[in-house]
Amino acid sequence: MANAQETHEVPAADAEPLLRTVELTRHFRLGGLFANEVLHAVDDLNIAIQEREIVALVGESGSGKSTVARLLARLYPPTRGEIFYRGRPIQKLRSRKDLLWYRGEVTIVLQDPFSAFHPVFRVSHGVMRNLALHRRELSRDERRQEAARVFESVGLSAKMLSRYAYEMSGGERQRVGFAQALAVRPKLILADEPVSMLDVSIRAGVLNMMAGLRDQEGVSILYITHDIASARYVADRIIVMYAGHLVEAGPAETVLSDPKHPYTQLLLSAAADPRDHVTLISADSGEPPKVVNPSEGCRFRWRCPHAIEKCSQVTPRPTPIGSREVACHVAVAQAEGVPLPAETASASNS
Amino acid sequence: MAVTEIALSEPPVAGDATGAPRRFFRAVLRNRKATVGALILLLIAFVAAFPGAVANHPPEATLYAPNAGPSSSHLLGTTSLGQDVFSQLVYSTRLTLVVTLIVSLIATFVSMIVGVTSAYVGGVTDRVLMVITDVFLILPVLPLLILLAAYLPPGVTSLTVVLCITSWAFQARQLRSQGQTLRNRDFLLAARARGERGIYIILVEIVPTMTSLLVASFLSLAVYVVGFAATLQFLGLGNSSELMWGTMLYNAQQASALEAGNAWWALGPGAAVALLGTGFALVNYAFDEIGNPALRPVRRRRRRGRATA
Amino acid sequence: MAEPLLEVDALSVDYLTESGDVRAVDDVSFRVDEGEFLGIVGESGCGKSTLLFAVAQLLSPPGEVAGGAVAFHGTDMVRLGREDLRHMRWRDYSLVMQSAMNALNPMKSVAAQFSDTLAAHGGATGDEARGRSVEVMQLVGIDPVHLESYPHQLSGGMRQRAMIAMALLFTPQLVIMDEPTSALDVVAQQSLMTKVKDLQHRLGFAVIFVTHDMSLVSRYSDRVLVMYAGQVAEAATTDAIFSEPRHPYTRGLMSAFPSLRGPRRELLGIPGRPPDLAHPPTGCRFHPRCPEVMPQCLTIEPDLYAVGQTDVRCLLYVEQAKQAV
């Protein structure tokens, strides 16, 4: 897909994606001053987001997906690597003017509709502040009108501007979150698990609204979730992360109908569909590792039914297979028709 | 997870100021401690505002028989100079109350700025501010005051200054802790993400959510200031010609009131100080209970009719 | 038919608030037989957690039982005194509450908490307690070496399983679970459910499983109760509910799940939001959101009508129920 090809072709003027990361890495130091434990939240991530598309970033907790959102929103800097927005390296932005420009192009919607709002102010507060900061050209009256317009575009009535957060339901609050993000006329919305805390019957409305934003307002969305079924519903492309690494990425239908990476396969088998009560139980009872001071090798190998020796020695890099990329030695070997060495038991701990 | 699953409205988050005045008023009425405390404070405020309505003699006129015990025309007796103690007490209320309020306000404000900035900015700033706070916390107050007394002109202004300096540090740490818990709340992340400046975030986003803690700080400080101001004045650090309860205590002590037989000259202001402190303390307790339903005494309610119209 | 393990009969629970009494659970009846897995499904505000609290006799003011009975093996639990209840608790039935993993005492090791629980309900002490703790940890698939760990040293999934182990200390006949998987990821959820079902087969206890996620119960439950606004909307065997949901709310819930297989259809969800139980709608409580609403739905409150194997609270089925009689 996009970034794999970029390293091999001279990028044409219109091939520059909206947002692109290069070896994006973020580590956190654990413990006190003298502790030597480094948590690897995200390692060497190369992703790209085009205009007018919804990209789903799928993974369990500890996969690094929320960290990616916060990195892209510039809530903290990366440990290594770069982020390019419209070709500009955003790490180099220094002046307040540039920073505000970026924040007006890329906005974030947070997960918890219950704590994402200031408890004292009305819900119009966030929208009005966003307009004041990023749409300076509007007068006070025009801002009020714009706030109303933006509320309506997410399916809320303008009267709700004067409500307080605790008077609104979870679904309504989440829509306000999107309204706030939209007020600045962004090109990209980073949506961090926007429906996870909502009741199931309300999720559909919010997901449909997101698709509408892409179609009607031309906004791209990075949809971060652990729910692969909703990812299928709204996303054009899917990126699967595990323990800080990208393991598989490609067009949504391709990845989901024919997953190549064993982790993607595991996710699909675990995702339940209420209409489908055939038992598809996997024997897996493992959990994503906390990646502290990791060694080389694939981080999924302990849970992988197909692990071979190479998996504990060489960290697999995302490699193109057809229209997608997969970070798995076994999958790549199979795709290229290379015979595999004898499989060892998945307990190749090193 | 709220046990009450009625509609989807969660209980108001701490610091929720909406409709607060009316709700607060009703809550005060329902809580016995609050009602008593509020009545005390209202009474004292009234006396401070309209001393003439309560006292029947001019406070400083040395017109009467000195060292008299309580009588019908002099409720608390007279001083060694022949002044009516009760009237003095009444007229001293205003300055005492004003000083208490001003000091509490200033100290709360300073501790808020220090605490919240420390919590929000973190890093080196945090450490530096906390070292400063600690220094002020462990300052030995009395030796310092004695030292300052030699240089500062005795009186209300000096008293106010000294009290402010010595009372802000305690609350600063508390407010910092609270600020730290708020630091990663989503609405603050959202404010950062949209590009707000740090100062804006502190003043507009953080401080309003801490109103209940700020009020509690203010009230606790008031209790402390009432007593401590009186103590300082009693020790001679006030101006004995100013009308305050503490200076009355000083004067009474100087004139050996207890031995001379008009003990009320000392007991009167002493009781007044205790009363004001109690008033603040009661309202403080009640405020805790109002703000935090978990602390409310559980009362069995009697069944009433259905809520449906 | 054998005597049911648990029988809830016309149970109603009220919350006594400042502005009047609010009926959070309205006339709910169901039974659980030995070894049965009952799923109770509903969204926020439907009363399912309140119902659980009431069944487990854990209601505290301002909530109280306003009517009905909860009978365990024929004994009415609502009328039992505290001592008798304490004796029953954990031996005959136990609980795994929502985010139970946050209910573990962070200052004590897992082993200490297990011993406390055993001691509190008159169980084994000392070495025997130790032996039993090891047993239950093995049952849920945790290496007993973790008994010495503190809760923060265990992962979320392990803590949840430790809570289930704690619930099994006395091998009760009934285990009540309130959204035990809500804080877990998809894969961990499935493995936990599989483990619970496996244990159920081995030890024979009954399960009441409360959740908002229908997909969790679809594979594991024998029967399902769908709740809405404090009432039972539909009750049937799992197969019946999933193959032929009758109540428009159930159908709405089912269609709110995006599918992983088959063509992409438009998701509809259910517009509007659950009613304020202090002022419920007139007639059928679902009518403001119902895609199949009829004029009489605004005035007539439907009863539970038996249609085939299903009980459904919907006026669409009044005629069918009458004919069946």
pLDDT tens readout for residues B247-261: 888 888 888 877 777
Phi, psi of B78 (to 5 degrees): -125, 165
* B227 belongs to a structural domain: yes
Q: Chain A partners of C179 at a C-beta cutoff of 8 Å? A: none
In this model, does residue B102 exceed pLDDT 90?
yes
For range A276-287, the mean pLDDT? 53
- Predicted confidence (pLDDT) at residue A281 exceeds the cutoff of 60: no
- Phi, psi dihedral angles at A173 (to 5 degrees): -65, -40
Identify the residue among B6, B194, B209, B214 best suited for mutation to test binding to A, counting A beta carbons within 10 A and taking the highest: B194
Chain B residues in contact with C46 by the CB 8 A cut-off are 5
For residue A272, the distance in angstroms to the closest alpha carbon of chain B comes to 25
Q: Kindly report the backbone phi and psi dihedral angles of residue A286, in degrees, each rounded to the nearest multiple of 5, phi listed first.
A: -85, 180
Q: How high is the pLDDT of residue A350? A: 37
Residue B15: which pLDDT band, with cuts at 50, 70 and 90?
very low
Residue A258 token pair: 């024919």
Residue A277 has pLDDT above 70, yes or no: no
- Residue C282 sits at the chain B interface (C-beta within 8 Å): no
| Domains contained in chain B, number | 1
Alpha helices by DSSP H, listed for C30-92, are 48-55, 82-88
Whether B41 maps to a domain, the answer reads no
Residues 20-79 of C with CB under 8 A from A: 43-44
Closest residue of A to C256, CA-based? A201
Q: Do B209 and A107 touch (CB under 8 A)?
A: no
Burial classification of residue B81, based on how many CB atoms lie within 10 Å of its CB (0-12 exposed, 13-18 middle, 19 or more buried): middle
Q: ipTM score of the complex?
A: 0.78
Instruction: Write out chain C residues lying below 8 Å of A200, CB-based.
Output: 43, 212-214, 253, 256-257, 269
Angle at which helices A170-183 and A124-134 pack, to 10 degrees?
10
Nearest-by-CA chain A residue for C269: A201
**pLDDT of A122:** 87
Is there a contact between B195 and A99 if contact means CB atoms under 8 Å apart?
yes
Q: Which residue of C has its CA nearest to A235?
A: C264
pLDDT of residue B130: 92
Residue B274, pLDDT score: 93
Statement: residue A80 has pLDDT above 90 = yes
Written as one letter, the residue type at A140 is R
- Using alpha carbons, select from C189, C8, C192 the residue that is nearest to residue C93: C8
d(CA B137, CA B146): 17
Residue of C nearest to B302 (CA): C16
- Spatial contact of C161 and C195, defined as CB atoms under 8 Å apart: yes
- Does the distance separating the beta carbons of B194 and A120 come in below 8 Å? no
Interchain contact, B195 vs A107, CB within 8 Å: no
Contacts of A112 in chain B (CB under 8 A): 186
Whether residues C45 and B6 touch (CB distance < 8 A) is answered with yes
Mutate to test the interface with C, among B1, B5, B22 (most CBs of C within 10 A): B5
Residues of chain C with pLDDT under 70: 1, 99-102, 182-183, 324-325
Looking at the domain assignment, is residue B28 inside a domain?
no
pLDDT at residue C219 in the model: 82
Give residue A303's pLDDT. 84
Whether B2 has a pLDDT exceeding 70, the answer reads no
Of B7, B306, B309, the CB nearest to C21: B306
Residue A293: predicted pLDDT: 82
Chain A residues touching residue C181 (CB < 8 angstroms): none
Closest-CA distance of chain A to residue B11, Å: 8
pLDDT of residue A10: 35
Query: Is the Cβ pair C45, B300 closer than 8 Å?
Result: no
Domain extent for B182:
48-308
pLDDT at B32: 80
Give the pLDDT score at A273. Answer: 61
Q: What is the pLDDT of residue A61?
A: 75
C50: which 2 tokens?
A: 């309140």
Neighbours of B175 (CB within 10 A): 26
Nearest CA in chain A to B185: A115
Q: Is the pLDDT of residue A141 over 80?
A: yes
Reported as a pLDDT band with limits 50, 70 and 90, residue B280 is: very high
Q: Touching check for B184 and chain C: CB below 8 Å? A: no
Point out the residue among C156, C186, C212 whose CB comes nearest to the CB of A200: C212
> Which 3 state secondary structure label does DSSP give C270?
coil
Asked if the model's pLDDT at residue B3 lies above 60, the reply is no
> Which residue has better confidence, C4 or A35?
C4
Q: What is the pLDDT of residue B294?
A: 57
Average pLDDT, chain A: 83
Q: Is residue B134 in a domain? A: yes
Could you say which of B303, B308, B309 has the minimum Cβ distance to residue C16? B303
Provide the pLDDT for residue B16.
40
Residue B37 in any domain: the answer is no
Contact A119 B192 (CB under 8 A): no
pLDDT of residue B307: 41
Chain B positions with Cβ closer than 8 Å to A: 8-18, 185-187, 189-196, 205, 208-209, 211
Region A44-69: mean pLDDT is 90
Q: Would you state the pLDDT for residue A234?
A: 92
- CATH code: domain of residue B85: 1.10.3720.10
- pLDDT tens digits for range B44-95: 999 888 888 888 788 777 777 777 777 777 778 787 777 888 888 888 899 9
pLDDT score of A44: 92
Share above pLDDT 90 across residues of chain B, in percent, rounded to a whole number: 15
Indicate whether B297 pLDDT > 80. Answer: no
Separation between Cα atoms, residue A151 and residue A168, nearest integer Å: 14
Q: What is the pLDDT of residue C325?
A: 57
Q: Is residue B258 part of a domain?
A: yes
Whether A192 has a pLDDT exceeding 70, the answer reads: yes
What 3-state class would DSSP assign to B3?
coil
Cβ neighbors of C100 (< 8 A, separation 6 or more) are: C159, C160, C163, C180
Q: What is the pLDDT of residue A283?
A: 52
Query: What is d(CA B67, CA B259) in angstroms, rounded to the nearest whole number?
Result: 11
The DSSP string of A13-73 is GGG--SEEEEEEEEEEEESSTT--EEEEEEEEE--EE-TT-EEEEE--TTSSHHHHHHHHT
For residue B4, pLDDT over 70 is answered with no
Residue of C nearest to B7 (CA): C276
**Which residues contact residue A193 at a Cβ distance below 8 angstroms, ignoring those fewer than 6 apart?**
A66, A111, A224, A225, A226
- Is A126 a residue whose pLDDT tops 70? yes
B226 in a structural domain? yes
In a domain, B17, yes or no: no
Size of interface A-C (CB pairs under 8 A): 118
